[in-house]
């Protein structure tokens, strides 16, 4: 009996010990929650934090434009027929029809100012914006600038809106994270925007003049930008706007890693003018008539290069004459930015306003000169 009791006691003690060990092996609810919280925190990055902060300020922009279409009479071929022509009345005419367009934008102030592209909203007769929280509001077009492809909208709300701030840096850092927001193809209206991530591939890219837009000094990024992303922000890892998504280079209609955005510094300057005046003052006057340098002109004037603009005529008492420019001067650069042709010249001058003083770099009889020209106003 004593042996049995000892054995049973040993068994009970062994069982208690084994049970205690198994309890120690099972994680408690508190430790499991702690592990999950640790994993969640490890998933948070500068990018996820920037996305979380920026998302409420992103909007979808929906517009209605009036498109003029030439309607051709189906019997138009009979009008020119020598026999049937006199019996038919020509009915071809221009008709107007509403067309829907869409894009993206972002709020820049708590009282409802919104930035988007000119090619999204510049010709609209009706504009609505949809916020990430599902709210849809009517918007007014405050001003638009086709040259830089920027437009400013305004909505009215009862409560302040979440908004984004522009970066104070003059240029982004090549290779830094770039986060693009928008509403590609109109798939996600009135919900959280689509987010794509890449890096800043380059800055100060010049794409020239495209459909009346002067796309110079653009930011290049490989963050995917699709149709419908136009007007959305390109932000850095701090959640600051470094550019306004505007264009892509593509060979197949989709992104190939070449997206372009208007730099923040230029965008802020244009937006401030639109907010104050509703337009950008481009009534500049210099008093210069010029021709592009051809191979024949370069040979005749003994120029080493065929790039630049040759001054053909200078108006009397004009800003150009007061600055000292003369016929046969070769304009090679403006403000240290090379001028290869007329498009380059227009793009450079359009960055300035009447009253601004600009440095012209010229070549005169094989001598390099720098002349200061104060831009005048066309009306004057």
Of residues 101, 97, 78, the one with CA closest to residue 88 = 78
Residue 143 corresponds to which tokens in the numbers above? 């001003």
Note whether 151 and 129 are within 8 A (CB). no
- Measured between alpha carbons, how far is 79 from 91 in angstroms, rounded to an integer? 10
CA distance 21 to 28: 14
User: Pick the catalytic residue: 149, 217, 222, 344?
Assistant: 149
DSSP classification of residue 115: E
Burial (Cβ within 10 Å: 0-12, 13-18, ≥19) of residue 296:
exposed
Can you give 313-332 as a three-state secondary structure string? EECCCCHHHHHCCCCCCEEE
Q: Dihedral sign for Cα 192, 198, 201, 207, please.
A: negative
Is the distance from CB of 146 to CB of 212 less than 8 angstroms?
yes
Residue found by looking up tokens 């890693």 in the block: 257
CB-based contact 319:373 (threshold 8 Å): yes
**Catalytic one among 104, 145, 230, 344?**
230
Active site residue 149: yes
**Interatomic CA distance for residues 139 and 103, integer angstroms:** 14
Beta strand pairing status for 241-248 and 177-182? unpaired
How many other CB atoms are there within 10 angstroms of residue 344's CB atom? 24
Told to judge if 167 belongs to the known catalytic residues of this protein, a careful annotator would answer no
Catalytic residue among 60, 104, 118, 119: 119
- Beta-carbon neighbour count of residue 233 at 10 Å? 31
236 and 172 in contact (C-beta within 8 Å)? yes
Residue 52 falls in the annotated catalytic set: no
Give the catalytic positions in this structure. 119, 149, 230
């Amino acid at each position: 009996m004593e042996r049995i009791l000892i054995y049973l006691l040993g068994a009970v003690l062994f069982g208690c010990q084994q049970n205690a060990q198994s309890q120690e092996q099972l994680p408690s609810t508190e430790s499991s929650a702690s592990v999950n919280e640790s994993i969640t925190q490890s998933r948070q990055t500068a990018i996820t934090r920037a996305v979380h902060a920026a998302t409420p300020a992103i909007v979808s922009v929906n517009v209605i434009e009036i498109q003029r279409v030439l309607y051709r009479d189906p019997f138009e071929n009979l009008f020119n027929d020598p026999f049937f022509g006199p019996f038919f009345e020509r009915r071809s005419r221009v008709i107007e029809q509403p067309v829907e367009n869409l894009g993206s934008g972002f709020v820049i102030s708590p009282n409802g100012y919104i930035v988007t592209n000119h090619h999204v909203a510049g010709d609209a007769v009706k504009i609505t914006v949809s916020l990430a929280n599902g709210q849809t509001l009517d918007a007014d077009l405050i001003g638009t600038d086709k040259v830089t492809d920027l437009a400013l909208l305004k909505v009215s709300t009862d409560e302040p809106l979440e908004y984004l701030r522009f970066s104070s840096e003059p240029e982004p850092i090549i290779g830094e994270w770039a986060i693009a927001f928008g509403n590609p193809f109109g798939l996600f209206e009135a919900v959280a925007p689509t987010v794509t991530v890449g890096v800043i591939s380059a800055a100060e890219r010049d794409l020239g003049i495209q459909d009346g837009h002067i796309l110079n000094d653009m930011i290049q990024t490989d963050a995917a930008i699709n149709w419908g992303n136009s007007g959305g922000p390109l932000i850095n890892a701090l959640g600051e706007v470094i550019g306004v998504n505007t264009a892509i280079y593509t060979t197949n209609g989709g992104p190939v890693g070449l997206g372009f955005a208007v730099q923040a510094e230029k965008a802020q300057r244009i937006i401030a003018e639109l907010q104050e005046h509703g337009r950008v003052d481009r009534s500049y006057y210099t008093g210069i008539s010029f021709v592009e340098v051809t191979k024949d002109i370069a040979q005749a004037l003994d120029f080493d290069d065929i790039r630049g603009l040759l001054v053909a005529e200078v108006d009397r008492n004009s800003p150009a004459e007061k600055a000292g420019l003369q016929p046969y001067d070769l304009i090679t650069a403006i403000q240290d930015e090379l001028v290869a042709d007329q498009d380059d010249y227009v793009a450079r001058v359009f960055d300035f306003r009447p009253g601004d003083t600009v440095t012209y770099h010229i070549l005169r009889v094989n001598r390099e000169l720098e002349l200061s020209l104060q831009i005048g106003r066309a009306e004057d």
